[in-house]
């Protein structure tokens, strides 16, 4: 019987030691940002919002433009382009792209200097942050 108690005590000692080792392996680093804040999911939300609110809704402010999403980017910068409706192959009038995790957004192009540019910027910020709906 004493031998059995020794084995039981030794087993408990091993369990306690392994718990101490596992605890020592954990870091005090904050958890990484959620996957939904990465560049691709962020730009997917922006593209869905833009398509629904600016184009499918028939918004007259965007009637002269077309949405050209380029979300499958091998550069790690998924983006959407706003191009002229009647000339989609021409130079984009606005580029909205994201990079990294958490996503860092950039928007540029001549359309952002137009009166509709303020609305584009505020809509994009809202959708990127997880907001929905149209302004």
In percent, the amount of the chain with pLDDT more than 90 equals: 67
Cα–Cα distance, 96 to 49 (Å, whole number): 13
Check whether 15 has a pLDDT greater than 60: no
What does the domain layout of the chain look like in residue ranges? 35-128
Split at pLDDT 50, 70, 90, the class of 95 is: very high
The pLDDT, as a whole number, for residue 36 is 83
**Contact by Cβ (8 Å): 105, 98:** yes
Of 87, 103, 105, nearest in space to 95 by CA: 105
Check whether 21 has a pLDDT greater than 60: no
């Amino acid at each position: 019987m004493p031998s059995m108690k020794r084995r039981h005590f030794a087993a408990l000692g091993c369990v306690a030691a392994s718990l101490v080792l596992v605890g020592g392996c954990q870091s005090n680093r904050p958890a990484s940002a959620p996957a939904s804040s990465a560049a691709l999911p962020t730009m997917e939300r922006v593209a869905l919002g833009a398509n629904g609110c600016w184009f499918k809704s028939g918004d007259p402010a965007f009637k002269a433009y077309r949405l050209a999403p380029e979300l499958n980017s091998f550069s790690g910068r998924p983006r959407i382009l706003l191009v002229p409706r009647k000339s989609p192959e021409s130079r984009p009038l606005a580029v909205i792209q994201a990079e990294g995790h958490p996503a860092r957004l950039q928007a540029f192009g001549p359309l952002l200097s137009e009166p509709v540019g303020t609305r584009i910027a505020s809509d994009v910020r809202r959708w990127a942050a997880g907001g929905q709906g149209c302004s």
